[in-house]
Amino acid sequence: MNTQWSDEENAFCRQVVDFFEHELSDDLRAAGRWMTSVYADHERSLRWQRKLVARGWAAPAWPVEYGGCDWSVAQHYIFARERAFAGAPPVSPMGIQMCAPALIAFGTAEQKAHFLPRMLSGEHFWCQGYSEPEAGSDLASLSMAASDDGDHLVCTGSKLWSTHAHVANWVFCLVRTSRGDRPQKGITFLLIDLDSAGVEVRPIVSLTGEHIQNEILFNQVRVPKANVVGRIGDGWTVAKYLLEFERGGAAYAPQMQVRLRELRQFARRAPADRGGTLSDDPVFMARLAEVECQVDVLESYEQERLSELSRGGSPGASASVLKILGTELQQAVTELGLEAAGHYGAAFQPQAGYPGGPVLLPHGGGFLGDRQAALAPLRYFNERAGTIYAGTNEIQRNILAKTVFGL
C-alpha cells in the first residue's frame, strides 16, 4: 500500500486543518477532546454540525446530489484523521450516518426530499428505536405492534436504550406488522414523529448518573404509511443494511491514536510505584506499544474498507470485523488509561469531561489530580458497553462464522 499522499491530497489536508483551526472555538474543541461518552454534548454537537453544513462537509459519505462530497478514499480518511487530531466533536450518527444511508438506499424520492435536508440542518434530530425489553441482540424477536388502519399504522409497544430520545424529535423504528414462519418476516422499518399523540419518553439514568439513554412508550400512535421505508413486512432487509453502517461505518483508529498519544504523554508525568515515572516502567510501556501496533493494523484495515465503500459497496461482513476489533481495542486503551491513573482512577469526577448528557448524581465543581487521570475511569466504564451495543461481539462472531465461513 502506498502511504504517501499526493500533492492534491496534501492540499486537501491543509484545507481541512485550516477549517478546523478557524471554526473550532475553545468550547467546541474541549467538547471533542474531553468526551467521556460515545456521543458529544448535544448542544455543542449541533452547533458544530451547522458549521459543517455551511462548509458542505456535514455528510461527506452521502451521494453528491443529496449534499455529500465527491471525495476520494484518501480524502475521507484525511478528514476523519484530522477531525480526531483537532479534537472536533462528532455529529450525532443517528440521522446522518445511520438512518440516511437506509433512506438513500430504500426510501422513496419524496422521503429523501423531505427528510435528508432536515437531517443535515438539524431541524430533525434522530434517535433509534430497535431494542425492546425482550429484544436486544436478538433483534428479530421484537414485538412492538403496528396494526393496519387504512393509510396509517397504529403502533403500540416500547423501545429501550434509545440514545438522546429526550432531545430527539424523530425516531426510526422496527415494528411488527405481521407474523411469519421466521421471526425476521413481518418486520417493518418506520419513521415516527416523536411529537405524535401517544408517545412518551422516559429517562434511563445510568449507574454513573448520566442521562443519555431512554425508554420510549407508544400507545396507539398513528403513523402515516408514507413513513414506511422499503416495503411493509420487509423491514429486516433495511435494518440489516443500516446495521452495517452502525457497526462498521466509522473509523475507530484515528481517535484511538489520539488517546494513545495522550497516554504516552501522561506516562511521562505519572508517578510509578517504584519511583520515577510510568514511562520508566518497561512492562507498562511494552503493553502500550503492543496496543499501538494493533491500532495501526486496524487503521490499514479501515482504509481497505473505505476503498470498498468508495466504489459503491456496503460494509458487509467487514462491519462485524470492524465492530469487534474497534470496540475491543477501545477497551484495551481505556484499561491502560485506568492503570496509569492509579488511585485517582477510583474517584467519580464527571466534571473533568464532557459526557453525552446531564449528570444527575451529585459531583463537585473542580477535579483532583491530572485531567487524564480524572477522565480514565469515566472512559473505562463507558467503553464497557462498546462490545454490547449494536449487537454484542459474540453476535458479530456468529455473523462472521455464518456469512464468511459458512458454518
At 376, list the grid cell. 480514565
Q: Which of 84, 105, 72 is nearest to 303 (CA)?
A: 72
Dist. CA 195–CA 190, nearest whole Å: 15
- Residue 344 has a CB neighbour count (10 Å cut-off) of 21
Does residue 99 form part of some domain?
Answer: no
At 275, list the grid cell. 519511583
Q: Is residue 338 a contact partner of residue 104, using CB atoms and an 8 Å limit?
A: no
Supply the CATH number for residue 176's domain. 2.40.110.10
Does residue 349 form part of some domain?
Answer: yes
pTM of the model: 0.84
Query: pLDDT value at position 1?
Result: 46
Q: Is residue 228 a contact partner of residue 189, using CB atoms and an 8 Å limit?
A: yes
Dist. CA 195–CA 221, nearest whole Å: 10
My answer on whether 28 and 169 are in the same domain is no
Does residue 244 form part of some domain?
Answer: no
Place of cell 456469512: 403
Dist. CA 48–CA 44, nearest whole Å: 6
Q: Kindly calculate the radius of gyration of the chain based on its CA atoms and give it in whole angstroms.
A: 22
Supply the CATH number for residue 390's domain. 1.20.140.10
Looking at 239, 274, 306, the residue that finishes a domain is: 239
My answer on whether 361 and 303 are in the same domain is yes
Does residue 315 form part of some domain?
Answer: yes
Phi and psi at residue 172, to the nearest 5°: -95, 130
My answer on whether 213 and 133 are in the same domain is yes
Looking at 239, 269, 290, the residue that finishes a domain is: 239
Query: pLDDT value at position 245?
Result: 64
Dist. CA 388–CA 390, nearest whole Å: 7
Q: Is residue 233 a contact partner of residue 153, using CB atoms and an 8 Å limit?
A: no
Q: What is the DSSP letter of 272?
A: P
My answer on whether 273 and 389 are in the same domain is yes
Task: Count up the domains in the chain and report the number.
Answer: 3
Query: Active-site positions?
Result: 246
My answer on whether 263 and 392 are in the same domain is yes
At 70, list the grid cell. 465527491
For residue 108, the enclosing domain spans 104-116+124-239
Does residue 195 form part of some domain?
Answer: yes
Q: Is residue 13 a contact partner of residue 5, using CB atoms and an 8 Å limit?
A: yes
At 66, list the grid cell. 443529496
My answer on whether 212 and 265 are in the same domain is no
Look at residue 173 and give its three-state secondary structure. Answer: strand
My answer on whether 389 and 337 are in the same domain is yes
My answer on whether 29 and 67 are in the same domain is yes
Dist. CA 177–CA 167, nearest whole Å: 28
My answer on whether 87 and 54 are in the same domain is yes
Dist. CA 316–CA 90, nearest whole Å: 24
Looking at 239, 265, 296, the residue that finishes a domain is: 239
User: Left, alpha or beta for 112 (phi > 0: left; psi -120 to 50: alpha)?
Assistant: alpha
- pLDDT tens digit at each of 407 positions of the chain: 455 778 999 999 999 999 999 999 999 999 999 998 888 889 999 999 999 999 999 999 899 999 999 988 788 889 988 999 999 999 998 999 999 999 999 999 999 999 999 999 999 999 999 999 988 778 889 999 999 999 999 999 999 999 999 999 999 999 999 998 888 999 999 999 999 999 999 999 887 678 999 999 999 999 999 999 999 999 999 988 887 665 555 578 989 999 999 999 999 998 887 778 999 999 999 999 999 999 999 988 887 776 666 666 666 778 888 889 999 999 999 999 999 999 888 888 888 988 888 888 777 778 888 999 999 999 998 898 888 877 788 988 998 998 888 88
Residues β-bridged to residue 172: 128, 191
Phi and psi at residue 154, to the nearest 5°: -105, 115
Dist. CA 401–CA 407, nearest whole Å: 5
My answer on whether 172 and 216 are in the same domain is yes
Residues β-bridged to residue 123: none
CA angle 7, 12, 17 (to 5 degrees): 125
- Read off the pLDDT of residues 185-200 as tens digits, 9 standing for 90 and up: 999 999 999 999 999 9
